[in-house]
Amino acid sequence: MVSASVVRGTAVTAALMSLLAVPAHAAPLEPGTTRAGAPAPDVTGLWNDLRAAQRSGAPGAMARLEDRDTVHWAAVGVADRKTGRALSNSDRFRIGSITKVFSAVVLLQLAEEKKLTLDAPVDRYLPGLLPDKSITVRHVLSHRSGLYDYTNDMFARTVPGFEAVRKKVFTYRQLVNRSLAKPRTTKPGGAYSYSNTNFVVAGMLIEKLTGHPVATEYRDRIIEPLMLTDTFYVHPGTKIPGRYARGYLTPDTAGAALVDATEQTASWAQSAGAVISSTRDLNTFLSALLGGRLTSRTQLAQMQRWVPAGSTQAYGLGLRRRDLSCGVSVYGHTGAVQGYYSYAFASKDGKRSLAAVATASNNGTLHNTMLRTLESAFCGKPSKRARPAATPVERHDDIAPDNKLSFDE
């Protein structure tokens, strides 16, 4: 049985569809619950979260929620401010640091193939790259290497910093060298300290151990096996293939016009943040990962060896855990790349997943507004969950603590 409902608005403001497919033999559900006994998602709340994101400065925002046999999707606003084309969940976008999960999966598969040891020093595989031979692969993947995040300086001024690198093509080593010019933030194995440099090193490891570009490994190990038809790594190409949402960068000066940041090499990010995807593909990817389809149980358990990363967060190996107000934990990653804030999280078994994006960045209120989509998707209606504690607006979720600007998470 398939039923559909549509809420219509103007082309600029909204389009919402909820699709339901339940096997004919399925027993009826108790009101307000799912088959797993978790709170039913608050679809209306999710819709309201997206509308709030639009009011907070995003030209558009969208989300896709998959809960076993049920799919809900919502999109508000425009994909292109010039043409006024309405945003759709079929639009592709830059996913920022959700790319890190792709990189981590490839390295864990290589560990399973005995081509990599997580607790071996990076120097074993990339001799002479790092000055400290005690930095291990595990330290890199869990942001405990102490390697300074080179993007702190690269984007110290948001729009000028972006325009300076928009068309540039960097080598991995050039990016690592920018990091090594600065003091390290912690001793190897110390406290979590987010740094894009770590996942540049991860990309170098992938290419050294396989002899292939990261694009090939993403394709052969993840994209093609999962049939992710909207997912691409086009570096150093600047265009998003097919139908896509344009992304807009918020200048540091209050009230200044948004800057269209869609076309860029994303070379400053590469294996730390250059993948392009869609809400559908991100849900498929995370559900497959947490459902044990991309790694062995042993390697998935390694990804979930958590270290503290804030009061309501923990970090594993390229995977983030967020602890929600209702006591539920969700697993995935956030991403910020110029023009886009993206969110991809799933339940521990991968059977409920949410992917969402807002098409603006460098806007702390917008970022925190979009984080509410996790509460709506996994905790249900507010009456069914505890009221979250008031928290200060954070402009970033996953970056080094001394950085005040938004670039990639």
pLDDT attached to residue 96: 98
Q: 19 lies in a domain? A: no
Which residues have C-beta within 8 Å of that of residue 354, sequence separation ≥ 6? Answer: 63, 64, 65, 66, 283, 330, 343, 344, 345, 346, 373, 374, 377, 378
Q: What does the pLDDT average to over 332-346?
A: 97
pLDDT attached to residue 382: 85
Q: 391 lies in a domain? A: no
Q: What does the pLDDT average to over 280-306?
A: 98
pLDDT exceeds cutoff 60 at 214: yes
CA angle 142, 144, 150 (to 5 degrees): 100
Q: 260 lies in a domain? A: yes
Looking at per-residue pLDDT, the higher value among 217 and 255 belongs to: 217
267 is catalytic: no
pLDDT attached to residue 390: 42
Our measurement of the distance from residue 150's CA atom to the centroid of its chain's CA atoms, rounded to an integer in Å, reads 19
pLDDT by residue (tens digit) across 140-182? 999 999 999 999 999 999 999 999 999 999 999 999 999 999 9
Give all strands (DSSP E) within 9-79, no chain letters.
Answer: 14-21, 60-67, 70-77
Which residues have C-beta within 8 Å of that of residue 100, sequence separation ≥ 6? Answer: 199, 202, 272, 273, 318, 333
**What does the DSSP assignment read for 275-339?**
-EE-HHHHHHHHHHHHTTSSS-HHHHHHHT--EE-STTEEE-SS-EEEE-TTS-EEEEEEEEETT
Number of domains in the chain: 1
Q: From residue 361, give the alpha-carbon distance in Å to each of 174, 259, 271, 276, 314.
A: 26, 10, 20, 16, 23
Integer Cα distance of 66 and 377 in angstroms:
9
Model's pTM, two decimal places?
Answer: 0.89
- Neighbour tally for 377: CB within 10 Å: 33
Instruction: Choose the weakest-confidence range: 148-162, 222-236, 395-409.
Output: 395-409
CATH number of residue 71's parent domain? 3.40.710.10
pLDDT attached to residue 359: 98
pLDDT attached to residue 284: 98
pLDDT attached to residue 168: 98
Q: Look up residue 181 and give its DSSP letter.
A: T
Q: Look up residue 129 and give its DSSP letter.
A: S
Q: How confident is the model at residue 23 (pLDDT cuts 50, 70, 90)?
A: very low
Q: What does the pLDDT average to over 304-317?
A: 96
pLDDT attached to residue 383: 64
**What does the DSSP assignment read for 337-405?**
ETTEEEEEEE-TTSSEEEEEEESEES-HHHHHHHHHHHHHHHH-SGGGSPPPPP----S-SSS-TT--S
CB 222 within 8 A of CB 285: yes
pLDDT exceeds cutoff 80 at 2: no
Q: State the maximum Cα–Cα separation within the chain, in Å, rounded to a whole number.
A: 63
CB 165 within 8 A of CB 158: no
Looking at per-residue pLDDT, the higher value among 23 and 318 belongs to: 318
Q: 263 lies in a domain? A: yes
Our measurement of the distance from residue 141's CA atom to the centroid of its chain's CA atoms, rounded to an integer in Å, reads 15
Q: What does the pLDDT average to over 175-202?
A: 97
Q: What does the pLDDT average to over 202-224?
A: 98
Q: What does the pLDDT average to over 326-333?
A: 96
Q: How confident is the model at residue 38 (pLDDT cuts 50, 70, 90)?
A: confident
Which residues have C-beta within 8 Å of that of residue 83, sequence separation ≥ 6? Answer: none
Query: Residues 182-186: contacts with CB within 8 Å, 24+ apart?
Result: 182/148, 182/150, 182/153, 183/148, 184/132, 184/145, 184/146, 184/147, 184/148, 185/146, 185/147, 185/148, 185/400, 186/144, 186/146
Q: What does the pLDDT average to over 329-336?
A: 97
Integer Cα distance of 58 and 100 in angstroms:
24
Q: Give the tokens for residue 245.
A: 């949402």
Phi, psi of 141 (to 5 degrees): -70, -15
Q: Which among 56, 97, 193, 361 is annotated as catalytic?
A: 97
What residue numbers bound the domain in which 360 lies?
43-379
Looking at per-residue pLDDT, the higher value among 24 and 282 belongs to: 282
Q: From residue 325, give the alpha-carbon distance in Å to each of 34, 189, 205.
A: 18, 30, 37
Q: 30 lies in a domain? A: no
Q: Look up residue 87 and give its DSSP letter.
A: P
pLDDT by residue (tens digit) across 253-279? 999 999 999 999 999 999 999 999 999
CB 322 within 8 A of CB 345: yes
- Mean pLDDT value across the chain: 88
pLDDT attached to residue 129: 98
Residue 173: helix, strand or coil by DSSP?
helix
Q: 343 lies in a domain? A: yes
Q: Give the tokens for residue 138.
A: 């595990």
Integer Cα distance of 399 and 149 in angstroms:
8
- Lookup result for tokens 């709170």: 39
Integer Cα distance of 33 and 225 in angstroms:
33
